[in-house]
Amino acid sequence: MSRISTWLITSSIQELITPQNSSSMASRVLVLASILIFSCFAETCYGAISFSSLQRTLVVTASHRQGLLKAGEDKITVRWGLNQSFPAGTDSSYKTIKVQLCYAPISQVDRAWRKTEDHLNKDKTCQFKIVKKPYINVNETLEWTIERDVPTATFFIRAYALDSDDHEVAYGQNTDAQKKTNLFEIQAITGRHVSLDIASVCFSAFSVVSLMGFFFMEKRKARKSQQ
């Protein structure tokens, strides 16, 4: 599909470059505009795989220590594999497995940038990649250290099976369909450092003190010029 839009764009640019008289200019601009609009729509229509069309054929579990997990420090052990109750050959199209950290509904409230949408290319539920590797028909385990750019929120883990075109064909998650069980909380790093704190305070104090210094010098100069 991207090849078609590339072709459309290059042909329309060629149209513009070749010299023409002004009367057809307006119509050509109109054509170019409509081509661009069409190609934008075409892209969005074609790539729309919906989550509700996927089968939940994978089994995913996650284990971790008790309590609030800390980003950058704690580890989560993720296990995934094909659900054996499905007939053999279900995974014939699975080429890659992508395991992601996803926001639980409670962390999506009043935050449109984490919204769940059925169309997967608009869906913002899962924003952190744990691992993406070729699929093998074996139960796998991974110990993942929570990365330092994960924010403070409640999460669950989901795995997508991708086919050879990198499109999602199946999924599995460690929570239920309503995303209410087996959730875990992660505490982000603050990003603050003592050196930053000290620098902030020092520079602020410097600004205010230098202002007073300037005032003092002005008063002295004014008094001197009066004498």
> Which residues of the shown chain bind another protein in the complex (CB under 8 A)?
33, 36-37, 40, 44, 109-113, 122, 148-149, 151-153, 188-193, 196-197, 199-201, 203-208, 210-211, 214-215, 218-219, 221-222, 225-226
Question: Cβ closer to another protein: 139 or 204?
Answer: 204
Residue pointed to by tokens 């999924």: 171
Question: Cβ closer to another protein: 73 or 149?
Answer: 149
CB of 17 to another protein, least distance (A): 18
Question: Cβ closer to another protein: 8 or 59?
Answer: 8
Rounded-to-integer distance, Cα 26 and Cα 69, Å: 61
Question: Cβ closer to another protein: 49 or 59?
Answer: 49
CB of 36 to another protein, least distance (A): 6
Residue pointed to by tokens 């205010």: 208
3 state DSSP class of 195: helix
- DSSP for residue 119: B
Instruction: Quickly list DSSP for 37-77.
Output: HHHHHHHHHHT--BGGGSEE-EEEEEE--SS-EETTT-EEE
Quick check: 142 and 97 in contact, CB under 8 A? no
Rounded-to-integer distance, Cα 115 and Cα 123, Å: 7
Q: Which two tokens stand for residue 176?
A: 């239920």
Give the closest residue to 69 by CA, choosing from 166, 188, 158: 188
CB of 153 to another protein, least distance (A): 8
Question: Cβ closer to another protein: 7 or 214?
Answer: 214
CB of 207 to another protein, least distance (A): 4
CB of 141 to another protein, least distance (A): 27
Question: Cβ closer to another protein: 27 or 55?
Answer: 27
CB of 19 to another protein, least distance (A): 23
What residues have CB less than 8 Å from 130, skipping those under 6 apart?
78, 99, 100, 101, 142, 144, 157
Q: Which residues are registered as beta bridge partners of 96? A: 134, 162
CB of 106 to another protein, least distance (A): 12
Question: Cβ closer to another protein: 13 or 196?
Answer: 196
